Amino acid sequence: MIDKHQISIRFKELYGSEPTLISKSPGRINIIGEHTDYNEGFVLPTAIDKAVYVALSKRDDSEIHLFAEDFNESFSIDLKDIKPTEKGWPNYILGVVNQILSRGLKISGFNLYINGDIPVGAGLSSSAAVECATGFGLNALFDLGLDKVSIAKIGQLAEHTYAGVKCGIMDQFASVLSKENHVVRLDCRDLSYTYVPLELGDYEIVLLNTNVKHSLASSAYNDRRHSCERAVSLVQEKYKDVNSLRDVTLDMLVELVKPVDEDSFVKAKFVVEENKRLEKACSAMESGDIAEMGKQMFQAHKGLSQEYEVSCKELDFLVDKAKAFPEVLGARMMGGGFGGCTINIVKKGFGHELVEALAPAYKNEFNLELTPIFVKTDNGSELVY
């Protein structure tokens, strides 16, 4: 956890005065429900106790001054000149500013300092946390009157327009609206949501970071979206009221997609079945059946690997090896795929033993270090100063 007093000291070193406020937005995990968000399905994320912190104060002019501790870099621009920059990291902040201005909301220049403890590249949505901490902080600093769902939407649109990633809403929504010891059962069609208790009892969540990110991730993501859209269009030829895979049954896919496009059938079938797995996992959580929840996670990984084909040999290796331990109730790849982390439901106290057992074999197989990340659930965006 980042010390807010250290943030204040650093802010004063950079800008000559204390920050007016510090906002915090967490990273996220997703228990189950992968690649369902852009198909108007359901997801089951929650925030974790690793976050991005943004310290802010107003300026007397129209300039924005930014400093990112992770990069030890500053950036400044005038409000009237806001546009994407080649530097990269400022875009997640500037995109939020652009969205606020495009809504006709009034802000002046400001000083901003950003720091955090979310491991970058682990698939824990550090970019969404940056967007949401910025939006949440600016909303408070300038009294903009934005509700939490609007802040999440602003973060998503900032990523679309300034970072160039057409992400679903899950990451930003989880970052802003999560509740400790609960998961958010989010309907990605209409953004209605409920909180489902996540009482793990004698178990805890351990993430295993593969420390890889394969380059085909973005092109494969677009290919999967296209396959899903193709399946929907084939079904729509007979069923006019179908809008997305959310409305599609397995029988429809067998009848109308399988004979025409086998690949689109397999991809769409995964999404339809993943929504069903999520429902089963939710019921299991509500009844405290963590073993059943874990079973659905193992099945989800099998589908992600063999049907949706977004896993990789490193992720498959870790899930296969984890499955051999009775102390592990469930494991699967998490996120877009082709790298990042596996999420594991592990008997309390066994996590370190699991890592000690897997790390040498993983190193031997791939010549890569295995990095464990121990996480707890947490609340969404909040002011900490």
Q: Give the DSSP letter of residue 163.
A: I
Q: Of 3, 6, 25, 225, which is closest to residue 124 (Cα–Cα)?
A: 25
CA 3 to CA 156: how far, in whole Å?
28
Residues near 173 by beta carbon (within 8 Å), at least 6 away in sequence: 45, 149, 152, 184, 186, 191, 193
Tokens 């967490």 label which residue? 26
Task: Collapse the DSSP code of 311 into the 3-class scheme (helix H, G, I; strand E, B; otherwise coil) and give the result.
Answer: coil
How many other CB atoms sit within 10 Å of the CB of residue 12? Answer: 14
Task: Collapse the DSSP code of 207 into the 3-class scheme (helix H, G, I; strand E, B; otherwise coil) and give the result.
Answer: strand
What positions carry a catalytic annotation? 171
Contact, 237 vs 256, CB < 8 A? yes
DSSP strands (E only) in 177-281: 182-187, 193-197, 203-213
Q: Give, in order, the Cα–Cα distances in Å from 167 to each of 13, 35, 282.
A: 36, 10, 24
For 376, half-sphere exposure in the C-beta direction (CA atoms, 13 angstrom radius) is: 8
Q: Of 131, 141, 139, 145, which is closest to residue 175 (Cα–Cα)?
A: 131
Token couple for 361: 């074999």
Q: Of 284, 58, 65, 258, which is closest to residue 185 (Cα–Cα)?
A: 284
